[in-house]
Structure 1
Amino acid sequence: MCNRDSGQIFYEGLGFIYLEIINFVKSEAEVEDELDKVFFMLKNMSTLKTLPRIMKSAVFQRFFQLASYAKLTKEERTMYDISLKRKWDAEAVRMYQEGLEEQLGGLEKQLEEAKKAVVSAEARGEHKKAMETALKLTKIGLSVKQIAEATGLSIEEIEKLK
């Protein structure tokens, strides 16, 4: 029950329930709810070799992993920690390498686009230069056919210059 009095909250009726794990006597087959699972796990943790099938949820799996780690000797923990660190390092290197490969792929794509832009710009420049040359040659009085041969432009393009 909760009472409010001038901005303060008072809780009444809160109590504690104590359970002595030694008095929990249910077997794995008798476990019914989540609380029973917790008590079963706490009571039998020291004897469990594997996680019972009734406790396959992520919470119990993590709890079992932590308890298994806690059972290790100091040397075993050190070896486990080194192994775990190597695994994490390898994963970090793999992720970094994937990132670099992704960036490299993006850069290669940009380079190809830049090459295409340069080729296109060169072609436009060459065409513009040929048009300027054709204009000069028309002023000199050369025939359209001669100008087309000299510049590589089509006869239609040259005729538009006149």
Structure 2
Amino acid sequence: MISLPLFNKQPEELKTVMDQWLYLLKHLSTMDRLPSFLDKRIFGLIFEIGEIGKLTEEELMSYEASLRHKRDAESVFNSAKKSGEALGHAKGLAEGKAKGLAEGERRKALETAKAFKEMGLPTADIAKGTGLSVEEIEKL
């Protein structure tokens, strides 16, 4: 059992983290800033909470309103981000599908043109039937 009123160590006597916690809890109401001998990574949040506890009712209302505003803005941002990601994903899929279909059609036209060329059909007729240019057919 710990009794804070009986905890009387001075800052230079604080050897353990437990000593630092007890010191902070006992003196939090009289501190206007976090002492340098207390690690900000460990004690920073509790000190900030203590600072909020010292606010007047008007300051607290203003603080809570600013928190609501911040959270609303973050929510709007996250919603817009998700919406944008979904739209971008859908657009990317559609473009990829269209490109894949076009490449497939071109590959099929080249295979058909090659087969017709091997059969000895005139290049102009092959170009007309496959939609390829005469130059493309001659390269086969």
Same fold (TM over 0.5): yes
Question: Would you say how many aligned residue pairs link Structure 1 and Structure 2?
Answer: 128
1:99 counterpart = 2:74 = no
**1:105-162 CA distance string (max 9 Å, x none):** 22222121122134245547867998xxx8xxx9xxxx943xx32341658x9xxxxx
Identical-pair percentage: 26
Secondary structure in 2 matching 1:50 = coil
What's the TM-score, normalizing by structure 2?
0.68
SS of residue matched to 1:89: helix
Q: Is the 8 A contact 2:7 2:22 kept in 1?
A: yes
Contact 2:4-2:26 within 8 A present in 1 as well:
no
- Measure how far apart 1:57 and its partner are: 5.0
Q: Please give the residue correspondences for 1:11-160 in structure 2 after superposition, counting only pairs within 5 Å.
A: 17-21=1-5, 23-120=6-103, 122-123=105-106, 144-145=121-122, 148-152=123-127, 154=137
Higher fraction of strand: 1
The residue aligned with 2:134 is none
Instruction: Write 1 or 2 for the structure with the bigger share of helix.
Output: 2
TM-score by length of 1: 0.61
Could you tell me which runs of 5 or more consecutive residues in structure 1 were left unpaired when the two chains were aligned.
Answer: 1-16, 158-162
- Equivalent position amino acid for 1:27 in 2: Q
For 2:30, what is the secondary structure of its paired residue? coil
CA separation of 1:150/1:47 partners in 2, compared to 1, >3 Å: closer, same or farther?
same
Question: Please, what is the CA RMSD of the aligned residues?
Answer: 3.2
